């Protein structure tokens, strides 16, 4: 089954509203060059509605970088799925490694967020990935399997079909160290195998598995040329329009 590639920009806690609008404006004018893949931007919360307004009708998607699992109430500082919808965004990142390892989100918290995201009609991008110590101890696959199983087990078949998985080895994020295409492909195959075992071949054939971790114009073509790699979640190299467009252009 052929899966359409997707290139996503995760700006993390970077870019003002003005910077985000300028980026979106310039991306929209480059749309004819964007090619045949899906493109999604994940600005910081405040910039989401402004970015969405500019991208309306362009075919480029917008998402939030996180959400809370409750639908509303006394949760100071949190953002609900409904608020994300209200800001005209349709995607949301769930379980990014910075949330897992800097903020301390457990697999169980990630599972609750994922369930809420699909219930709210959002398209979640579920991030999984091992730390360097876990890889060195030979536990990379078991860590990723546990992250996947805990997050996905509460979803129905219909909900599962909406999920996008992003494999992001923690040691490759923001470090300049990219997994070799061989390592990335091996883990993508492993993830697809887990999806097949747990949820059947429909789900495993359909779900997109992106790679993230120091993707840049110099390595994008090689990574995205792999049939197993259905796109990229790009941090640092997505902050400048030129380098982001080069990565988008690397999808053949
Ligand atoms: P990076 O970040 O491209 O800067 O390594 C990727 C991510 O955290 O999603």
Distance 168 CA to ligand 1 centre (A): 8
Among the ranges given (69-78, 130-139, 159-168, 169-178), the one the predictor scored with the smallest mean pLDDT: 169-178
The residue nearest atom 1 of ligand 1, judged by CA position, is 235
Going by C-beta distance under 8 Å and a sequence separation of 6 or more, which residues neighbour residue 32? none
Distance 47 CA to ligand 1 centre (A): 19
Percent of the chain with pLDDT over 90: 93
Residue pair 168/128 in contact by the 8 Å Cβ criterion: yes
* Separation CA 85–CA 83 (nearest Å): 5
How much is the pLDDT for 85? 98
Position in ligand 1 atom list of the atom nearest CA 215: 3
Calculate what percentage of the chain has a pLDDT beyond 70.
98
> What is the pLDDT at residue 192?
98
Return the residue whose CA atom lies nearest to atom 2 of ligand 1. Answer: 235
Question: Which member of 119, 168, 206, 221 is catalytic?
Answer: 168
The catalytic position among 70, 96, 105, 136 is 96
Ligand 1 first shell, C-beta below 6 A: 10, 168, 173-174, 212-215, 233-237
Average pLDDT over residues 63-78: 98
Can 188 be counted among the known catalytic residues?
A: no
Q: What is the mean pLDDT of residues 233-241?
A: 98
Instruction: Answer for the pair 93, 127: CB distance below 8 angstroms, yes or no.
Output: yes
* pLDDT for the residue numbered 31: 62
User: Separation of 7 CA from ligand 1 center, angstroms?
Assistant: 12
Q: For the chain, percent helix, then strand, then coil, each to nearest 5?
A: 50, 15, 35
**DSSP label at residue 179:** P
* Mutation probe of ligand 1 site: the residue of 170, 236, 238, 243 with most atoms within 8 A of C-beta: 236
Mean pLDDT, residues 189-207? 96
Q: Quote the ligand 1 centre to 200 CA distance (angstroms).
A: 30
pLDDT of residue 1: 62
Which atom number of ligand 1 is nearest to the Cα of residue 97? 8
C-beta contacts of 145-148 below 8 A and 24+ residues apart: 145/190, 145/194, 146/107, 147/95, 147/107, 147/110, 148/191, 148/194, 148/195
Q: From ligand 1's centre to the CA of 49, what distance in Å?
A: 23
Beta-carbon contacts of residue 26 (< 8 Å; ≥ 6 apart): 241
Question: In the annotation, is 96 catalytic?
Answer: yes
Tens of pLDDT, residue by residue over 89-139, are 999 999 999 999 999 999 999 999 999 999 999 999 999 999 999 999 999
85 contacts 122 by C-beta, under 8 angstroms: yes
The rounded mean pLDDT for the chain is 95
Name the residue with the closest Cα to ligand 1, atom 3: 235
């Amino acid at each position: 089954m052929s899966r359409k590639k997707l290139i996503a920009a995760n700006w993390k806690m970077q870019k003002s509203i003005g910077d985000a609008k300028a980026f979106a404006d310039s991306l929209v004018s480059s749309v004819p060059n964007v090619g045949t893949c899906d493109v999604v931007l994940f600005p910081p919360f405040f910039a989401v509605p402004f970015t969405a307004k500019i991208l309306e009708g362009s075919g480029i998607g917008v998402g939030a970088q996180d959400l809370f699992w409750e639908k509303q109430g006394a949760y100071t500082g949190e953002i609900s799925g409904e608020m994300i919808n209200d800001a005209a965004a349709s995607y949301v990142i769930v379980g990014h490694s910075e949330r897992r390892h800097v903020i301390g989100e457990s697999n169980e918290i990630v599972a609750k967020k994922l369930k809420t995201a699909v219930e709210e009609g959002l398209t979640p991008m579920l991030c999984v990935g091992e730390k360097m110590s876990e890889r060195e101890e030979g536990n990379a696959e078991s860590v990723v399997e546990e992250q996947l199983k805990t997050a996905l087990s509460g979803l129905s078949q219909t909900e599962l079909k909406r999920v996008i998985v992003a494999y992001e080895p923690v040691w490759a994020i923001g470090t300049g160290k990219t997994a070799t295409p061989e390592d990335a492909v091996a883990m993508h195959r492993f993830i697809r195998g887990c999806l097949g075992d747990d949820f059947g071949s429909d789900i495993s054939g359909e779900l997109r598995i992106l790679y993230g971790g120091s993707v840049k114009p110099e390595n994008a073509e090689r990574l995205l040329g792999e049939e197993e790699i259905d796109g990229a979640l790009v941090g640092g190299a997505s902050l400048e329009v030129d380098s982001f467009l080069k990565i988008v252009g690397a999808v053949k």
